[in-house]
Amino acid sequence: MVRQLYALFIVLTLTLLLTSQAYSLWYGKLRANFTVSVGELDVKIGSYKIISCCQCSHECPETYSSSANLSPNGKRLTIIFENVYPEWRSYIGIVITNDGTLPAKLKSVNVNIIEDSEILNSFHYEVMYLGPYNKGDFARTVWSNIKCCDDLESLSSTSPPITFYPSQKIIAWIELGIDENCTKENNTLELEITLKYVGGW
């Protein structure tokens, strides 16, 4: 009787040890094979161009000029217009790129006047959104062929939010203007352009 109990004890002990080892190996393997993949959301201004309407209908004053600076990460475009005047108009074009691995949703392009400009109350802007486009699709019709403000009149805008996928692009043309009732001449206008976007899933 004692031998039978002893043998049963040995069998139960071995079974418990083998079961624990097998579970340990299975659990360790399960943990080793478990991976997490995280996507990247990366929307930026890829390129830009400035078109002054004075190139369409009349010559710019000699004192008028513009300059721009795109931040290294492509998240902010700063533009300075020197000596703008009443009834002045200009367009800024930007190519918005999805360089990430996730779909994105563009909610708006924001235009802000830097510092407290004297012409703030006379300044206005409107954004035209085009796309999304796959690589190269937009080049002629809504970008490279646009030489003058008149070329933009036939384009149809898309309303945001706009979902676009990795490697796709959105074109935004921003119309800027100073009202005719502005009493200030030879003003400096400094603008900051940024993007508002979220994940598009």
Give me the number of domains the chain comprises: 2
Q: Are residues 50 and 29 in the same domain?
A: no
pLDDT in tens, 32-81: 555 656 789 999 999 999 988 655 555 667 677 889 999 999 999 999 99
Q: Are residues 97 and 22 in the same domain?
A: no
- Tokens describing residue 165: 């996928």
pTM of the model: 0.77
Q: Are residues 5 and 86 in the same domain?
A: no
Distance CA 17, CA 19 (A): 5
pLDDT in tens, 128-185: 999 999 977 767 788 888 887 778 877 889 999 999 999 999 999 999 988 887 767 6
Containing structural domain, residue 31: 1-35
Q: Are residues 74 and 22 in the same domain?
A: no
Task: Supply φ then ψ for residue 55, to 5 degrees.
Answer: -80, -15
What pLDDT does residue 149 have?
78
What pLDDT does residue 8 have?
59
- Tokens describing residue 11: 């069998």
- 3-class DSSP state for residue 172? strand
Nearest to 113 by CA among 189, 188, 172: 189
**Are 62 and 172 in contact, with CB atoms under 8 Å apart?**
no
Q: Are residues 90 and 177 in the same domain?
A: yes
Q: Are residues 30 and 57 in the same domain?
A: no
Q: Are residues 1 and 71 in the same domain?
A: no
Q: Are residues 85 and 7 in the same domain?
A: no
